Every structure is written in structure tokens, then in C-alpha cells.
């Protein structure tokens, strides 16, 4: 864990829990002794004065025990909740640093479950451990000692009952642990299917595919339900088995105790006290039984949490990374023989890509679906790392730059516009937290978002629903573009960011954007030829390889792939007038 000091804070509280548990258990172990004295010295000789005197002492000890129980539970709850809070923060921080490779390893649904349900299981176990596992050994050892002191002749009954309880608990735990592993796996599956269906509810309804999706969910749900039923069937055997042992123990104590009383080797109060001590001993094992029910699931949950915490991102800083550009006035980005293939894939997504992008120029990337356009530009901010070759910024490998500095250099607009709940202004300010109102307005004007923002009653303070569901696709894209523009970065990356815009808005945006990019390097991935027709450099990708590089006119004369794309979108007259 990243910051262990935050966990050391709870050590003093743990000591307080132990102290109050010791007070509670000591009081609980003292009560049967008072009960024995009341019976032997007060009730049997019929001396009510002694009964009243010992009863008052008994009440005082019971109150002290209750105080110990209250404070032990309070501090245990504080520790469990606090540790869970810190683990959640550690997991969230770890996930934030993951590259796309790690997100592919852990599904989004699984990461959510690990940071909610799994940590909740660990929190519950910590509380139960502090309250029960700490007190159970003290109570068991103290109870056994008190029982032997009260009557050694029938203490052998405990020697039979305790091992029998341990055998039952051990056998059930051996069966429960594998089942809990399956349950957590199936919970991930149900969560994954649910998220997928809820996110795609419009498509499902449009294609009248509800029945298929219901069957898909029912399959995942049924597997989880059956495993849970099997788990619960085994668990319900646990407490009856322990109670059976407990009842046989009580029966044996009464039977052999009565025989000892008839032989005048024990008194009635001793039998009552022995039964209470034996019950306390067995109750301590019942507490361990409850822990044994929670432990397997908590152990599985902790293992899953540790998998996330121990996973190192494949994208990380080198020692002494660069935190500045050597030449801010004139810099370039160069791809040198860059190839990329996804982990465990046999084919390359990109193969031997080489080109240079200069400051003040727009480098456009076009190609058929699946040609590797988005993968190529995602290599620049190191969302992936190249498998062959290198990417240079000002002659330095992109891997030599500090990741935070590298990302601060960039204004990134993803293919799918990502909008967060909040206001329009808060979404734009994600690009630059300290931007003033003038900067916000300037960015939205260039992004062609000012008109629809002003049409809203609350303007920039208009509330945005989660995922931007109360905005159109074009409005979300324009806000994403404004968010990138407001930070005025050295490098712009537009990953098919104009696809949801109408042609009029697209043209107006490009015209407003052109002078804004003169101090930067801009990469534009596009499907429309009209969007990139005026770019200083157009890279045509075909099946992961460069099919052509040049301006629109150059490519029309020497690149068949580009010519086919352009001809399919523009008329001959439009192509002649370019």
C-alpha cells in the first residue's frame, strides 16, 4: 500500500479495543463466580443479606462489562470503517494510474466490484475480528481455567466438546473457500452483463432484442443463484452442528454434575457456575464459527483487492524523467519505424510507421475502419507504448518525459465524448482549473458551443446529467473540444472529434480553430475528407501501414487509397474546386 502511515494511525485504537475487550471479558468471567456464591452462601443457607450484598457487586461488574462492550464495539467500528476508506482510496489511486493494458486485464465491472463489495467484505471482517477473534481466545482460556478451578472432575467434558467444534469448523471452511471464489467471479459476471445492457438499452430496444438480453442476464443470474444456494446450504449446517455439540455438553454436565452432587463432591452453585463457564467457552467457539463464515469470503475479497494493488502499470516514468522541452519555440514530433501490437496478439495493428509533425502544422490521419488511426495517436500520450521503434518529441523519446508533464502538454479530445455530471462550466474547467470567465467564453466560441450554451436558461451553470445524457452527441463533442482548447497545450489530439457535427458547424469550427493552432502541433483523426482537406500533412493508413503521406492534392495524384476515400465522399466538382 502506498501510504502505510495512514494505517499506523489505527494501532493506538486497536490497543484501546483490546483494553476494553479485556475489561468486558474479565467482567463476564467474574459473573458466574458471583452466581455460585449467591447460591452456595445465600440461597442454600437462606441468608438474604448475603444474596443482596453479592447481587449489588454483580450488578456493578455487569455495568463495567457493558461499558467495555460499548467502547470496544465503537472503536472497532471506527477502525474497520477507516481502514476500508483508506483501502478504497488506495485502489482508486492505483486504478487511475493504470494503462489501457491493465484496464483490459481487469474489466470495468470487476474493478467496481473490487472497490465496493470486496472492500465491504474486508471491512466487515475487520470489525468481527476485533470484536470476536480478540475476545474469543481470552474468554476461552479464562473460561477453561475457571471451569477447572470450579470442578476438575467433570472438566473432561470440555476436552471432548472443544475438539469436536474445531473439527466441524475446519471441515466446513475447506468446502466454503472454493465456493466463495466462484461467487465473487459470478458477481463480476452479473455486474458486467448489467452494465452492458444498461449502457446499450437504446440499441437493445431499437432492435427489439430484449428477450435475448433477458436470457443472457438470466444465465449469469442463475449461475450465481445456484452457487449461493449451495453455499447457504452448507453454511446452515454449521450452527446446528455447533448447537448439537453445545446441547450434548450441557446434558453431560447436568448428568455427571447431578451424580457429583449426590456424592457430596460438588455443590449446586458449583454446577451452575460450571455450566456458565462451559457456555462461555463454547460461546467463544461460536464466535469463531461466525468468523469462519465471514473469513473465506473476506479472504477471497482481499485476494482480489491485492491483485489490483500489486499490479504495476506497464506505462511508468523512467528515472529522472524530463519535465521540460529543450526548445519551446520550435519543436516537432517524429515517429521512427513505429510498430504496435496488442498484448498476446499475433498481428501488428501498426507496422513500420514513420513521419514527422512540425509546430504550427496540422497532421491529419485518415483511413478505413480498423486501419489503426486511433491506436496511432494514442501512442503519443503513452496510453499504449510502442512495441517497436520510437516516438520522439524534440528529438527525445516520449518515454523519457515525465508522464504528468507529457499529459499537461496535450489537449486530448477522445473519439467518444466523455462528459461528467456537474455543470457545463465545471466540465470545461477540467482542461484548466484556474481559467477565468474570458478564457471559458473564448474556448466555447472557437468550439462553436457558445450558441447552445446561451440558449440554456442557466447558461454555463446548466446542470449536466451523468454521462451527459441531457446533451446531444454534437453538443458533447463541442464541450470536449472546448475543454481541450482552454488549456492551450503544445500538442492537440482530435480523435475523430468532429464526426457528430453537421457540415456547417464542422466548417465553422475548422475556420475558427486554424489560427488557434499556429503555436501547437495538431493531430486530427477523421472519417470525412472535408474535415482534413486543408491539413498541411495527411497520413493515409491502410491495414496498419502508411499508404500515402502528403497534402490533399498530392494524395489525389499519387495515392489510390486516398483517392477512393475522397471520391466516395465528394463530387467531382467539389474535388476540382479544392
Q: Are 389 and 290 in the same domain?
A: no
Contact status, residue 150 vs residue 274, Cβ threshold 8 Å: yes
Q: Are 466 and 546 in the same domain?
A: no
| Residue 4, pLDDT score | 65
Q: Which residue has the cell 475476545?
A: 135
Q: Are 221 and 279 in the same domain?
A: yes
- Cell matching residue 7: 494505517
Q: Are 458 and 359 in the same domain?
A: no
Radius of gyration of the chain (CA): 36
Please report whether residue 231 resides in a domain.
yes
- The residue from 279, 310, 341 where one domain ends is 310
With vertex at residue 126, the alpha carbon angle to CA 188 and CA 136, rounded to the nearest 5 degrees, is 130
DSSP string, 76-131: HHHHHHHHHHHHHHHHHHHHHT--HHHHHHS-HHHHHHIIIIIHHHHHHHHHHIII
| Residue 321, pLDDT score | 87
Q: Are 118 and 46 in the same domain?
A: yes
Please report whether residue 476 resides in a domain.
yes
For CA atoms 421, 423, 428, 431, give the dihedral sign: negative
Distance CA 151, CA 458 (A): 81
Closest CA to 485 of 499, 471, 497: 497
Q: Each residue of 65-79: pLDDT tens digit?
A: 999 999 999 999 999
Distance CA 237, CA 258 (A): 32
Q: For residue 138, give the CATH number of its domain.
A: 1.20.1560.10
Q: Each residue of 516-538: pLDDT tens digit?
A: 888 889 999 988 888 888 889 99
Please report whether residue 315 resides in a domain.
no
Q: Are 378 and 397 in the same domain?
A: yes
CA separation, residue 32 to residues 201, 351, 571 (Å)? 64, 81, 99
Contact status, residue 268 vs residue 40, Cβ threshold 8 Å: yes
| Residue 338, pLDDT score | 93
Please report whether residue 20 resides in a domain.
yes
Please report whether residue 81 resides in a domain.
yes
Closest CA to 417 of 480, 345, 354: 480
- Cell matching residue 154: 467433570
Please report whether residue 444 resides in a domain.
yes
* Rounded (10°) CA dihedral 260, 262, 264, 267: 70
DSSP string, 258-290: HHHHHTTSS-HHHHHHHHHHHHHHHHHHHHHHH
| Residue 1, pLDDT score | 54
Q: Which residues of 412-436 are buried (b: 16+ CB within 10 A; e: fewer)?
A: bbbbebebeeebbbebbbbbbeebe
| Residue 328, pLDDT score | 60
- The residue from 310, 334, 357 where one domain ends is 310
- The residue from 488, 522, 548 where one domain ends is 488
Distance CA 488, CA 513 (A): 12
Reported residue count of the chain is 578
- Cell matching residue 38: 449467591
DSSP string, 384-400: S--SEEEEEETTEEGGG
With vertex at residue 521, the alpha carbon angle to CA 519 and CA 524, rounded to the nearest 5 degrees, is 130
Q: Are 237 and 162 in the same domain?
A: yes
Q: Are 443 and 560 in the same domain?
A: no
Q: Are 433 and 385 in the same domain?
A: no
- Cell matching residue 74: 465503537
For CA atoms 127, 133, 136, 142, give the dihedral sign: negative
Q: Which residues of 133-155 are buried (b: 16+ CB within 10 A; e: fewer)?
A: bbbbebbbebbbebbeebbeebb
Contact status, residue 196 vs residue 216, Cβ threshold 8 Å: no
Please report whether residue 316 resides in a domain.
no
3-state secondary structure 13-72: HHHHHHHHHHHHHHHHHHHHHHHHHHHHHHHCCCCHHHHHHHHHHHHHHHHHHHHHHHHH
Determine the structural domain holding residue 475 and report its residue range.
416-488
Number of domains in the chain: 3
Q: For residue 512, give the CATH number of its domain.
A: 3.40.50.300
Please report whether residue 57 resides in a domain.
yes
Q: Are 159 and 174 in the same domain?
A: yes
* Distance, CA of 479 to chain centre: 28
Q: Are 24 and 43 in the same domain?
A: yes
Where residue 532 falls (left for φ over 0; alpha for ψ -120 to 50; beta otherwise) is alpha
Residue ranges in the chain whose pLDDT is less than 50: none
Q: Are 130 and 63 in the same domain?
A: yes
Amino acid at each position: 500500500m502506498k501510504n502505510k502511515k495512514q494505517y499506523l494511525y489505527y494501532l493506538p485504537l486497536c490497543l484501546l479495543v483490546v483494553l476494553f475487550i479485556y475489561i468486558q471479558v474479565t467482567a463476564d468471567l467474574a459473573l458466574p463466580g458471583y452466581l455460585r456464591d449467591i447460591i452456595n452462601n445465600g440461597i442454600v443457607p437462606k441468608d438474604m443479606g448475603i444474596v443482596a450484598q453479592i447481587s449489588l457487586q454483580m450488578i456493578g461488574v455487569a455495568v463495567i462489562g457493558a461499558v467495555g462492550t460499548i467502547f470496544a464495539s465503537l472503536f472497532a467500528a471506527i477502525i474497520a470503517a477507516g481502514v476500508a476508506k483508506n483501502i478504497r482510496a488506495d485502489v482508486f489511486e492505483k486504478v487511475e494510474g493504470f494503462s489501457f493494458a491493465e484496464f483490459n486485464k481487469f474489466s470495468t465491472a470487476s474493478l467496481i466490484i473490487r472497490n465496493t463489495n470486496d472492500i465491504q467484505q474486508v471491512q466487515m471482517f475487520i470489525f468481527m475480528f476485533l470484536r470476536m477473534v480478540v475476545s474469543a481466545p481470552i474468554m476461552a482460556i479464562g473460561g477453561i481455567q475457571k471451569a477447572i478451578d470450579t470442578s476438575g472432575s467433570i472438566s473432561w467434558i470440555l476436552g471432548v466438546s472443544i475438539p469436536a467444534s474445531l473439527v466441524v469448523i475446519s471441515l466446513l471452511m475447506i468446502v466454503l473457500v472454493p465456493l466463495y471464489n466462484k461467487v465473487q467471479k459470478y458477481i463480476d459476471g452479473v455486474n458486467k452483463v448489467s452494465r452492458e445492457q444498461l449502457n446499450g438499452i437504446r440499441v437493445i430496444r431499437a432492435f427489439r432484442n430484449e428477450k435475448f438480453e433477458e436470457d443472457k442476464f438470466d444465465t449469469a443470474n442463475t449461475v450465481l443463484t445456484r452457487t449461493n444456494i449451495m453455499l447457504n446450504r452448507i453454511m446452515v449446517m454449521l450452527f446446528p452442528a455447533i448447537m448439537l455439540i453445545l446441547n450434548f455438553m450441557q446434558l453431560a454436565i447436568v448428568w455427571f454434575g447431578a451424580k457429583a452432587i449426590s456424592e457430596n463432591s460438588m455443590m449446586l452453585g458449583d454446577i451452575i457456575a460450571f455450566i456458565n463457564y462451559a457456555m462461555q467457552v463454547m460461546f467463544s467457539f461460536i464466535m469463531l464459527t461466525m468468523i469462519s463464515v465471514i473469513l473465506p469470503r473476506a479472504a477471497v475479497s482481499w485476494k482480489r483487492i491485492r491483485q489490483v494493488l500489486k499490479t504495476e502499470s506497464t506505462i511508468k516514468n523512467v528515472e529522472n524523467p524530463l519535465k521540460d522541452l529543450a526548445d519551446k519555440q520550435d519543436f516537432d514530433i517524429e515517429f521512427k519505424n513505429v510498430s504496435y501490437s496488442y498484448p498476446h496478439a499475433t498481428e501488428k495493428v501498426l507496422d513500420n510507421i514513420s513521419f514527422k509533425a512540425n509546430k504550427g502544422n496540422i497532421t491529419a490521419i485518415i483511413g478505413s475502419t480498423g486501419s489503426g488511426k486511433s491506436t496511432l495517436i494514442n501512442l503519443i500520450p503513452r496510453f499504449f507504448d510502442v512495441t517497436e521503434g520510437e516516438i520522439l518529441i524534440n528529438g527525445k523519446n516520449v518515454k523519457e518525459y515525465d508522464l504528468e508533464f507529457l499529459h499537461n502538454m496535450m489537449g486530448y479530445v477522445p473519439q467518444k465524448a466523455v462528459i461528467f455530471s456537474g455543470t457545463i462550466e465545471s466540465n470545461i474547467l477540467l482542461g484548466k482549473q484556474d481559467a477565468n470567465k474570458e478564457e471559458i467564453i473564448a474556448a466555447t466560441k472557437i468550439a462553436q458551443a457558445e450558441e447552445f450554451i446561451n440558449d440554456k436558461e442557466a447558461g454555463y451553470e446548466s446542470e449536466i446529467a451523468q454521462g451527459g445524457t441531457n446533451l446531444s452527441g454534437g453538443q458533447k463533442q463541442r464541450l470536449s473540444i472546448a475543454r481541450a482548447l482552454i488549456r492551450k497545450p503544445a500538442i492537440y489530439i482530435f480523435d475523430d472529434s468532429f464526426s457528430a457535427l453537421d457540415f456547417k458547424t464542422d466548417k465553422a469550427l475548422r475556420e475558427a480553430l486554424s489560427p488557434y493552432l499556429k503555436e501547437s502541433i495538431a493531430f486530427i483523426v477523421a472519417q470525412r475528407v472535408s474535415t482534413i482537406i486543408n491539413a498541411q500533412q495527411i497520413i493515409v493508413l491502410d491495414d496498419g501501414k502508411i499508404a500515402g503521406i502528403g497534402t490533399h492534392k498530392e494524395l489525389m495524384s499519387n495515392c489510390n487509397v486516398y483517392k477512393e476515400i475522397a471520391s466516395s465522399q465528394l463530387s467531382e466538382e467539389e474535388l476540382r474546386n479544392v
